[in-house]
Amino acid sequence: MHLSRYPRLRFAHLPTPLERLDRLTEALGGPEIWIKRDDCTGMSSGGNKTRKLEFLMAEAVEQGADMVMTQGATQSNHARQTAAFAARLGMDCHILLEDRTKYQDDNYNLNGNVLLDHLHGASTEKFPGGHDMPGEMEKTAEKMRSAGRNVYVIPGGGSNATGALGYVNCALELVAQANDTGLVIDHLVHATGSSGTQAGLITGLSAINANIPLLGFGTRAPQEKQETMVYDLACKTAEKLGCPGVVSRDVVRADTSYVGEGYGLPREDTIEAVRMFAELEGILLDPVYSGKGAAGLIDYCRTGKFKAGERVVFLHTGGSAALFGYDSVLPRSRELAAE
């Protein structure tokens, strides 16, 4: 695969680190846990969308866009990183935000990623949950186009074949790092939502015959729907790369047991995972994506699904900015015990 054939903006801080988590490994007493730090990609506090946006925003520039538009949940990491790219390129950015949690507190609705959206100069509009957000975005884009704007529309999460190229590239990067360090990866896991990250990874890993099992821990959709979305996008990505048929359906796996009551609603094990990574490793997760992915990782270690002696890589998709919108559900400070 020769990814240089596709337009790309090289804004991300790559390669992201691949590190062993010594204290978390010891605390769980099972497999050897490693982390791929895609929270360190650099744009507006980093995250997995930066890899996708390098290709998406390059396509926008190639098409002469003067405005970029996307959509997501209120505390969308993708929206924040899109706004940052637009700011760097001098483009206008408009974001449609959907209320998927019904949280009413000001921190959730005005702080965290929302604050950063506006700080980067993006305009936003809010919709109740359950809307046809792609449809609303197309209607808004058409209004802008009729007013003379050249609008480039990015799907939620940056999840199309162009955006997925970012995680094809990540698969190549990760395997190269593992080869250089002598790390044999038995399992690769991450949080999966709009499907672009997992689709890109599975396409890249399959195309180079890496033989690394990939598991996505779902954050929203039921298992069958999640796996179908990932597989369909992986097939489109493989076609774009010129290697159709390289992805087989049986290698696309998602476990949606850790979603809880719904998207953006953290369970107790989500909060525990956020706390453990922060207290043991100094690493910040978020309560929407990486926290749920880490909850799955921790449970798989505790229940023996990941076995002692195996090496597991957790791909950290970022999202720590959202923590500041979730202060009402996060652990409070601990008081020192009286002597």
Question: For the sheet containing 92-99, what is the strand order?
Answer: 123-128, 92-99, 67-73, 151-153
Tell me the two tokens of residue 294: 């880490």
- pLDDT the model gives residue 25: 98
Tell me the two tokens of residue 81: 């990183």
By DSSP bridging, strand 67-73 and strand 151-153 are parallel
Residues 146-173 have pLDDT tens digits of 999 999 999 999 999 999 999 999 999 9
Distance CA 109, CA 200 (A): 31
Mean pLDDT of 297-326: 98
- Average pLDDT taken over every residue of the chain: 96
DSSP 191-205: EESSSHHHHHHHHHH
Residues 11-48 have pLDDT tens digits of 999 999 999 999 999 999 999 999 999 999 999 999 99
Question: Is the peptide bond between 15 and the residue preceding it cis, with omega within 30 degrees of 0?
Answer: yes
Mean pLDDT of 184-190: 98
Residues 277-307 have pLDDT tens digits of 999 999 999 999 999 999 999 999 999 999 9
Active-site residue, from 76, 159, 290, 320: 76
User: Is residue 334 classed as helix, strand or coil in its secondary structure?
Assistant: coil
Tell me the two tokens of residue 27: 């605390």
Give the torsion through C-alpha atoms of 317, 323, 328, 334, to 10 deg. 100
User: Is residue 317 classed as helix, strand or coil in its secondary structure?
Assistant: coil
Distance CA 291, CA 300 (A): 14
Mean pLDDT of 124-142: 96
- pLDDT the model gives residue 331: 79
CA distances from 317 to 43, 159, 267, 284, 333 (A): 13, 14, 19, 11, 26
Show Cβ contacts of residue 35 under 8 Å, excluding neighbours closer than 6 positions: 18, 19, 21, 281, 283, 313, 314, 315, 316
Tell me the two tokens of residue 148: 């003379």
Q: How many residues does the chain have?
A: 339
Mean pLDDT of 109-122: 98
Instruction: Name the pTM for this structure.
Output: 0.96
257 is catalytic: no
Tell me the two tokens of residue 325: 């919108």
